[in-house]
Amino acid sequence: GTSGGPGEREPIWVVVQLHKDGHGPSGLMSAAIDDLAPRYPATKFVRIVSTDCIPDYPDTNLPTLLVYHDGLCVKHLVGLKAFGGQRVTPEQVALVLNGLGPVCSSGAADDDERGAGGAQEAEDARLVKRLVARVVAEREEGDESSDFDD
């Protein structure tokens, strides 16, 4: 690739949604994310089955959004409470995410760079699993008693 200079890529925002099929609150969040993702192509929205990347992850924590910026986890958003509960809307999700940074901003997406390709999807999935595994490892090294409390 190219190094340095004004053409440097912006650090990318990645929003990982941990979900389970048939889990009500997960479905509500999925619908909101499905609405947002095409509107904000500069941000990567990825959905993973929670127990695929975190064995024994409790369904009571779903949906969980893990927000990454430039490869670092910025925030864990657990459950629907922050998003208005059962009345969750795409706008509310965007509002919460934008509280962390310009996650849902209509930054100019470089359409030419974003080739639609299955290979990219697989690459994303691998990348995300690595990111999530790292978060889990960090959490377990910390003190076990604390649950995601903010």
Angle between helices 90-98 and 24-36 (to 10 degrees): 80
Q: Are 54 and 66 in contact (CB under 8 A)?
A: no
Q: Whose CA is closest to 103, among 141, 75, 138?
A: 75
Q: Beta-carbon neighbour count of residue 41 at 10 Å?
A: 15
pLDDT of residue 63: 97
What pLDDT shows up at residue 97?
97
Structure tokens at 51: 């127990």
CA distances 32 to 39, 60, 63, 137, 144, Å, are 11, 19, 12, 29, 32
Q: What is the pLDDT of residue 133?
A: 76
Terminus-to-terminus CA distance in the chain, angstroms? Answer: 39
Residue 111: predicted pLDDT: 44
Distance set, CA 22 to CA 88, 101, 102 (Å) = 17, 31, 31
- Residue 112's pLDDT is 39
Q: What averages of pLDDT result for each successive group of 10 residues across the chain (150 residues)?
A: 57 94 96 96 94 92 95 94 94 96 74 48 72 69 50
